[in-house]
Chain A
Amino acid sequence: MSKDVSPNNAVGRSSAEGSSSRQFFVVSISGSVEAAEFPEHDELYCRYFVEFGSDWQIISGVAEGMSQISKKSKCHIDDRQLCVWNLPVELTLKSTNITGWPKIVVSVYGNDSFGNDVVRGYAWSFVPLESTSTTLSMPAFVPASSSKLQEMTAWFTGRRPEFLNPAIVVHGESRELLRTSSHGHVFVKVNTLIKDLSKCGYENCYKQAQSYSLASIVSEMEKFSVS
């Protein structure tokens, strides 16, 4: 993770202020990893975790989970072909810094034809930056073998290429070394609630209908005054 600069230094607040007067904002994530759509694979389970930066702390909830194994519907009129998990995600975080905003990472696993547990896809998305209720549709990709021989060996032995730490999918470094293939999508429904973001001085959505008077701007600025 690149080094984080807290907003206290950046917006001119006095650095002599103690941590008790630092303004936190709170992000509450509640939702579920609903389902996955993988046309070529069946009997899938998933693990999810929420990755966040070093300035963030968990207030309540758990940052990871593992689902049940789900098989697609046998109903012939249901052509969605989803593996449904409905795995709940409940987490509340607080921070002073937007950098390191939480991201949900989902890894999908299944059994291959020999019965080995192999990875079927990794997918990730940022938790929405506004208080909103939405379904994130994340396309999933899986690392590809580096040569034909390795691909055949992996198919026989069931040891497919996978990430030692799935958190690597949310980092941008050294991604050029990776070759992947993509097979499906993961659907995660997230309800986000963000508290006190405007008190920390951040604007996360553009309220076109409001008119801001200079007096209200002045009162906002007084919160940032250098003492």
Chain B
Amino acid sequence: MAEVHVLGQIQGARHFERNSLFCRWELRTGVGWKVVTGLTEGQTQSDTPSCGNSCVWAHPIDLHLHTKGLQDWPKLLFEVHQVDKYGRSVLAGYGFCNIPSTPGLHNLVIPTWRPRGSPRDRFRQFFLGGSTQLSEPELVCSSEDRYQLSTESTGTVLVQLALVTTLLLLLGALSAGQNATEVDDEIVTNATAAYYEDESALNETLLETSTAADNEEVATTAANASTA
């Protein structure tokens, strides 16, 4: 039972071929995560920088997420498109990043890629424009095999995120070292049972989030909770 606040902005992008760019972004959360407030997807403005080669989006991200466990940490997906002066948009790159897992300020630099078509497609694109796109954009953040896909690298997206979390400390996720000898098991059990409304939720949560170092402690606590 932890909460994560993600506040920040999609600052902009650089190193792309053309500088008129916009980006479509989406938050992908896994099982056990819930979005309390905040927009989970959107499209930034299309910016054309007059000097320099990085375009400015300054798109706000203000999310409040709630999770029952540590797995399936949410991801941000980006699809960058370039705009020409006639208003046509062409895919410039796909990218994704994981939301950072430690509280604090993070400056993320996300490299992007786009699929290369066959030589015939590339020949056509040279004269007519357009680009090859993925038929399933989920491939960007999934762990499936991509070996049949040929891609070229394009520019980078810059994102600045600040994270504030609640109770990740309780889940043991942020501890640097724990002294098991100082603990009175009964205090832990009573306090945790009082916090959670039912014992089944307690067992589920504690067992879900145990790390290798904490396994023994968690098992002891869970056993005490079931006997209490």
Contacts and interface: CB of A to CB of B under 8 A. Distances in A.
Interface of A: 2-5, 7, 10-12, 39-40, 98-101, 103, 123-126, 128-130, 138-141, 144, 169-173, 175-176, 178-183, 197, 201-206, 208-215, 217-218, 220-222, 224-226
Interface of B: 1, 3, 5, 7-9, 11-12, 22, 36-39, 42-51, 54-56, 58-62, 64, 66, 83, 102-105, 162-170, 174-180, 182-184, 187-188, 191-192, 194-197, 217
Contacts of B62: 99-101, 172
Contacts of A103: 60
30 contacts: A5-B37, A39-B51, A40-B51, A98-B64, A100-B62, A103-B60, A123-B58, A126-B8, A129-B164, A130-B104, A139-B12, A172-B39, A172-B62, A173-B39, A175-B43, A178-B45, A179-B48, A180-B48, A181-B47, A182-B49, A202-B164, A202-B165, A203-B165, A206-B104, A209-B176, A212-B178, A214-B188, A218-B191, A224-B195, A225-B195
Given A141-B45, A218-B187, A226-B197, A212 B169 contact: yes
B99 to A, nearest CB: 14
A144 B39 CA distance: 25
B166 A128 contact: no
Nearest to A4: B37
A203 B42 contact: no
Given A125-B9, A175-B43, A12 B195 contact: yes
B58 A141 contact: yes
A202 B167 CA distance: 7
B103 to A, nearest CB: 5
Given A99-B64, A183-B49, A222-B191, 8 more contacts: A12-B1, A99-B5, A125-B9, A197-B164, A204-B104, A212-B178, A214-B182, A214-B188
A180 B169 contact: no
Nearest to B45: A178
A176 B103 contact: no
Given A2-B37, A221-B170, A225-B194, A211 B175 contact: yes
A221 B191 contact: yes
B170 A11 contact: no
A206 B102 contact: yes
B195 A221 contact: yes
A221 B192 contact: yes
